[in-house]
Every structure is written in C-alpha cells, then in structure tokens.
Amino acid sequence: MNDEQQYLLLNASSRFSPPQGVKLSYGTAGFRADASLLPSTVYRVGILAALRSLKTGSVIGLMITASHNKVSDNGVKIADPNGGMLSQHWEPFADALVNAPSPQHLLLLINEFVAKEGILMDGVCQAEVLLGRDTRPSGDALVDAARQGVTSIVGAVATDMGILTTPQLHWMVRARNKGIQASEQDYFEQLSSSFRCLEDLIPAEKSKFGRMNDKVVVDGSNGVGGLKLKDLGRLLNSLVIEVRNSGEDGGVLNDEVGADYVQKEKVVPHCFGSKDAGIRCASLDGDADRFVYFIVPSESNGRIDLVDGDKILSLFALFIREQMSFLNENEGIKDCHQARLGVVQTAYANGASTNYLRQLGLEVNFTPTGVKYLHEKAAEFDIGIYFEANGHGTVLFSESFIRWLEARTKEISSGSKVSEGGKAALRLLAVSKLINQAVGDALSGLLLVEVILQYMGWSIHRWNELYHDLPSRQLKVKVADRNAVHTANAETVAVSPPGLQEAINAETGKYHQGRCFVRPSGTEDVVRVYAEASTQEAADTLANSVAKLVDQFLGLSSS
C-alpha cells in the first residue's frame, strides 16, 4: 500500500470511530444493529466492498437495510459479482475489519488481508461499488458513510443507485457483471415482459377456468417493496395489484405489518380485516426479499390462513416438474444431461410440506437458516428451488440448462405449431428470466405465483389445499448471550449449552408429532424457538415449555 493510500485510509477512518463495547458479527445476512451504532461499520464495509471489487475485477453491491427488523435498526450487506451473498470466505475479514479498535489496527488488518489475497492496490486497477438503500430514515447518512468507505480506496468509485429493494440491487450487480443493461427500468421490463410471455403460454383450456379473484391485495410493510410494486404494476395490464401499507400514509415500517409479522404471528396486518375475507392477499417484508400469501377467513377474529414459503415452493415445484415432464415426453432431453430438479428447505419447513414434496418424488435437501446456505445448495441442480418458510427463496437455473433451453427454443420456427415440449421449454426459459437468479425477490416471486395460479386455473384456496400444515409456533427468547447456543444437523440439534438438547428431547417426546428446535438468530439479539405438534394447543405448549428451558439455561437471569 503506498503512502497516498495509507494517508487516505487513516484520514477518512478517523472520522468514523467504532462504538465502544459493541462487537458486531456478519450474521445471517450482514451486520445489523441500532442505526446509531452503524456509521463506522458501514464505512468499513465500504472499504471491504471496494477491496472485493479489486479482487474480483467486477462490480460489487452494498445494500443498506435491516429488512424485517424494527425501523430504528439498520444494516449493511454485500452482493458478490454473481449477485449472490458475499463469499463466506470473506466473512471473518468483515468481522475483524468492523471490530478493529483504531484506524491503525484497521490499516494493519487491510495490509495483511490485501497481501494474503494478492489484491493489487496500485491505483491503476479500478473498482466499482453500487450502493442501494431501503426507506429507513437512517439510510441516507449511512449511504454517505459507505461512499466514504469505498472512496478511501484509491481507484474505487461508488455509484449511488438510490432507494431500491434488496433484490433489485442484487439483480443490478449480476446484470452489470454480465454486461446487461442494469437500470431499475431494465429490471421492471425484464420482469414484466417475462410475465407476459408466461401468460401468453397459458393453454386456452386451462385459462378458461379463470380465478376466483383477478385482484391481489398486497401489504407493502410500509417499506420500499410496496412503492416498487406500484411501479411494476403499471407495466402489467392483465393483473390488478392493490398495494396497502406502502408507507406513503405515514405507517411505520414493519410495525404490525409485513411478511415477518404475518408469518410469525399468523394475524392480519394493519389495514386488512374482515372486508378482505376470501380475497388473495400477500405480504412483503421491509426490503422486499421475502413474501407470503394469506387468506382472511370469513370468521377471522384477526387470524389468517397463512400460505407460506413452503407452499410457494410446492407450487413452483409442481409447475416446474410438470414442464420438465412435458420436455421429457415431447422433446427428449437427448443432447443434454438428464436435468436434475432439487428443492432446499430449512428446519423451519413445516413437516407436512416436506412430506408433500417427497411424495411428489422430489429430492429434498436441508441447510441451516440463511439464504447464503440455501442458495449454495440449490445451485448444485439444473433447476434448484429453495425457500425458507418465512418466504425467502427463488428458483435457480444452471447456465448449462439455460443454454440447452435457449437452443431448443431457437429451433421453434415462427408460424409452425409448437409442440408441448417446445412450449415447456419456452415457459421454463421465461421463468428463468422472471424469477431473480441472484437472490430471493418478493416482486418477481409474486409475479411467478400469480402466473402459475392463472396457468393452473387455481384460486388461492385451491392452492392452500395442496396439503395441511401441522400446527406450529415460533417464539423469541431474550438471553444473556445468544452465541452460547451452538447447533448441528442443519440447526435441528443444540450441541451447547450442555444438557439443553436432552431437556428439549424430553419435552418434545410428550407430544404426538412433536418436533422442536432452538437456534440463535443471526439478525436479532434473541434465541428462536420453533415447535410443531398435532394440535395448535400442543404446539403452543411445547414452544412455551422449551422457551422456559432456554431461559433456564441461558436467560438474562443466568448472566
């Protein structure tokens, strides 16, 4: 590192002192904390993003968001060159960088890391970081901190993309690195044109059944997603999207609204109620990387019938499996390896969904919570569908399978009758363009659900009947140190503190179809408890008993 670079780093970093007595970790999805604690963290992640861009010779993304967390929190995460999450190999460096006590320590760490990774900091190599933020009031100042971090590296530029959903930024990074136009308008156009393409491919005999409602009502969580969905909706003539909780009427982000609230509490979000009985409703989270659907029953009392990420996964799996069988029957996958379809879930997946997927003959894989793990596993398949029960997921297509689909669809000459296999290839190709290939995306996922329901001629009720969820309950327990909980086997077993898992097993054994696990959250300062049993009362009692066990082993009183 030359003198100019050292001076620049020392000078700029002295403006961002790290908060005293706070240790942050990259967690499930980047750094998250109360926004007042974050300027130095974001500044330093800006440096990291510039170094990552130098290392990879590609555009990198930096998103300021705390997604489902309360509005006073904020956070920062990195999008890698392919649009996915930051390589896990760099996470320890991110932790060390953010927690370095002084500018001198910071400089030392950067010097060591740059040497180890062989990053050329000659000022000649260029780096570019795209910055995005959600609608949180603290976002503006944090984007500025990120910009200062990026430009502390000689030759690095920061391009502010403004207010975006998290998946939009990931999409833009991926597109830029593939040499594709990557503006917000390009994103909207790709989604809307592939949606229309899928609509045009709906067989007449299927669409004639129609749907029970041609309107979807969406809770925008008072965040960025509702606003962007309104923009996207203007390009879709056939689908009526009514957005509520767009944040324009003064509603508070994630406060009794949004996918996290709806999925965890299983109650109607603000602005929804008995007037919506029977209508197709959906809810986005704060930065629109997750979504769930729900139905307000006629005798609701505030309760909902949740159509969660597991059911979204099942719908996508059914549709894709059908298209692949058309390909096999009509086209013959002779010049291609036999295409492999796989699905990925976490321990939160309702047991009934896993049974259903297995009955469909699908390979079901499990990973720990966090898109970074599910995405990696799904990428092993020609088509990999991953979803967390909380609505975070997407469908990944391998490059080789996309190339094969492109070749098949090119063979279809205009004017001639297209075979079922040909139509299936066209549909799958359109799905690969509609659904975000970089990360889970509520906007693109919602459009895919809508067009598949239309294709199937299904109402949300019909979709919800695919299988019946086992009753479940999720709780959060505030503890002295959540990192004292260590888990194994895709988070289904707590290996520490000693004795906790045995106590959980003893409790779970008392319930018919009982299943329960605990894990430390990577985004909030809590331990999460998930319980499933044959009745709602039993699931609630099991979750409460295990929450008490967590409190006994780790509670604030034990600190």
Query: Which residues belong to the annotated binding site?
Result: 67, 285, 287, 289, 388-390, 519-523, 528
* Least distance (Å) between residue 367 CB and ligand G16: 10
Of 221, 275, 214, nearest to 244 by C-alpha is 221
- How far is residue 356's CA from residue 163's CA, in Å, rounded to a whole number? 39
* Least distance (Å) between residue 66 CB and ligand G16: 7
Q: Which is nearer to ligand G16, 194 or 283 (CB)?
A: 283
Binding residues for substrate: 388-390, 519-523, 528
* Least distance (Å) between residue 264 CB and ligand G16: 10
- How far is residue 211's CA from residue 213's CA, in Å, rounded to a whole number? 5
Q: Which is nearer to ligand G16, 392 or 423 (CB)?
A: 392
Binding residues for Mg(2+): 67, 285, 287, 289
Amino acid at 186: D
3-state secondary structure of 266: coil
- How far is residue 351's CA from residue 468's CA, in Å, rounded to a whole number? 10
Active-site residue (options: 13, 67, 138, 432):
67
Of 346, 281, 261, nearest to 67 by C-alpha is 261
Q: Which is nearer to ligand G16, 266 or 392 (CB)?
A: 392
* Least distance (Å) between residue 29 CB and ligand G16: 4
Question: Is 67 known to be catalytic?
Answer: yes
Question: Which tokens belong to 149?
Answer: 């971090």
DSSP symbol at 250? S
DSSP symbol at 276? G
Amino acid at 362: L
Residues binding ligand G16 (CB under 6 A): 28-29, 67-68, 285, 289-290, 369-371, 388, 390, 392, 521-524, 528
- How far is residue 124's CA from residue 154's CA, in Å, rounded to a whole number? 8
Of 70, 32, 63, nearest to 521 by C-alpha is 32
- How far is residue 347's CA from residue 370's CA, in Å, rounded to a whole number? 11
Q: Which is nearer to ligand G16, 386 or 553 (CB)?
A: 386
Q: Which is nearer to ligand G16, 364 or 371 (CB)?
A: 371
* Least distance (Å) between residue 341 CB and ligand G16: 22
- How far is residue 105's CA from residue 258's CA, in Å, rounded to a whole number? 41
Which residues belong to the active site? 67
